[in-house]
C-alpha cells in the first residue's frame, strides 16, 4: 500500500513540476482529434458538393438535349416552309411569265388589227399623247 502511495506521490510531483507540458500535450491531442474530425467534415461537404454539381450537369445536359431537339425541329420546319415558299414563288413567276407572253401576244395582235385601241391603251398607261 505504501508503494502505491509512493507512486501516487511521484506522479503528483511530476504533474506539479510539468503541469504546463501535460496541458500542452492534452491540448495538442485535442486539437489533433478536432482537426481530423474537421477534415472528415470537409471531405463530406466536398463530396456532397461534387454530387450536387454532377446532378446539375446531368440536368443541364437533359435541357441541352431537349433544346437541340427543338432546334432541329425548328430547322426542319423552316426548311419545309422555305421549300413550300420557293414552290409558290416559282409558280407565281411562271404565271407572270405566261401573263406577260399573253399580254405581248395581245399587243402584237392589236397592232396588226386595231392600232387605235393599242394607241389608246399606251396613252392611258404612260400618260402621253400619240402624234402620228
**Along the 132 residues of the chain, how does pLDDT read in single tens digits?**
678 777 878 888 887 888 899 899 999 999 999 999 999 999 999 999 999 999 999 999 999 999 999 999 999 999 999 999 999 999 999 999 999 999 888 878 877 787 787 788 888 888 878 777
Asked if residue 63 belongs to a domain, the reply is yes
Asked if residue 86 belongs to a domain, the reply is yes
Dihedral angle computed from the Cα positions of residues 104, 108, 114 and 119, in that order, rounded to the nearest 10 degrees? 60
Q: H-type helices in the chain, by residue range?
A: 2-113, 115-126
Domain that includes residue 80, residue range: 2-91
Q: Crossing angle, helix 115-126 and helix 2-113, to 10 degrees?
A: 140
Domain count, the chain: 1
Asked if residue 71 belongs to a domain, the reply is yes
Taken in order 22, 25, 29, 30, the sign of the CA dihedral is positive
pLDDT at 51: 97
pLDDT at 14: 81
pLDDT at 3: 80
Which residue has 470537409 as its cell numbers?
A: 42
Asked if residue 112 belongs to a domain, the reply is no
Asked if residue 121 belongs to a domain, the reply is no
DSSP state of 128: -
DSSP state of 42: H
CA distance 50 to 37: 20
Contact 85, 92 (CB under 8 A): no
pLDDT at 126: 82
pLDDT at 1: 63
Amino acid at each position: 500500500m505504501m508503494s502505491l502511495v509512493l507512486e501516487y506521490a511521484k506522479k503528483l510531483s511530476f504533474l506539479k513540476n510539468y503541469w504546463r507540458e501535460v496541458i500542452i500535450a492534452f491540448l495538442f491531442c485535442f486539437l489533433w482529434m478536432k482537426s481530423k474530425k474537421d477534415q472528415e467534415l470537409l471531405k463530406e461537404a466536398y463530396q456532397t458538393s461534387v454530387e450536387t454539381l454532377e446532378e446539375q450537369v446531368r440536368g443541364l445536359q437533359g435541357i441541352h438535349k431537349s433544346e437541340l431537339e427543338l432546334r432541329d425541329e425548328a430547322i426542319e420546319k423552316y426548311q419545309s416552309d422555305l421549300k413550300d415558299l420557293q414552290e409558290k414563288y416559282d409558280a407565281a413567276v411562271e404565271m407572270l411569265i405566261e401573263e406577260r407572253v399573253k399580254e405581248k401576244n395581245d399587243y402584237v395582235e392589236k397592232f396588226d388589227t386595231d392600232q387605235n385601241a393599242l394607241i389608246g391603251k399606251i396613252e392611258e398607261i404612260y400618260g402621253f399623247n400619240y402624234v402620228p
